[in-house]
Copies of this chain bind each other. A is one copy, B any other.
Amino acid sequence: MTELTGPTNTTKVVVDVMLKPEILDPQGQAVSAALPRLGFNFASSVRQGKRFEIEVEGEVTVEKLAEITKAAETLLANPVIETFVVKVEN
């Protein structure tokens, strides 16, 4: 018998990657400059980063989280210029 593994058996882990505050962020600056041109004046600064939504099979153990953190350091973020946060959703 084959086991059906639908989205109910997976956990979503989110990795948010942002440029370090001291690193210039041209994308964020472009958004920041475009907002007032469109009539939006709420923002004093905008930074743009990346969000990774990772579906993990089964339970998220401490070991799995450590592995995800290692992958974030290696592949998802460049620790020289970026910081990242790993979060388990729900």
A35 lies within 8 A of chain B by Cβ:
yes
* Interface range on chain A (Cβ under 8 Å from partner): 35 or more
Number of identical protomers:
2
Q: A70-B40, A71-B35 are in contact. Are A48 and B46 (CB under 8 A)?
A: no
Interface SS majority for chain A: strand
Give the nearest-CB partner of A14 in chain B: B16
A20 lies within 8 A of chain B by Cβ:
no
CA distance A18 to B16 in the complex (A): 12
CA distance A74 to B43 in the complex (A): 15
CA distance A10 to B89 in the complex (A): 26
Interface residues of A (CB under 8 A from B): 5, 10, 16-18, 28, 31, 34-35, 38, 40, 42-57, 64, 67-68, 70-71, 74-76
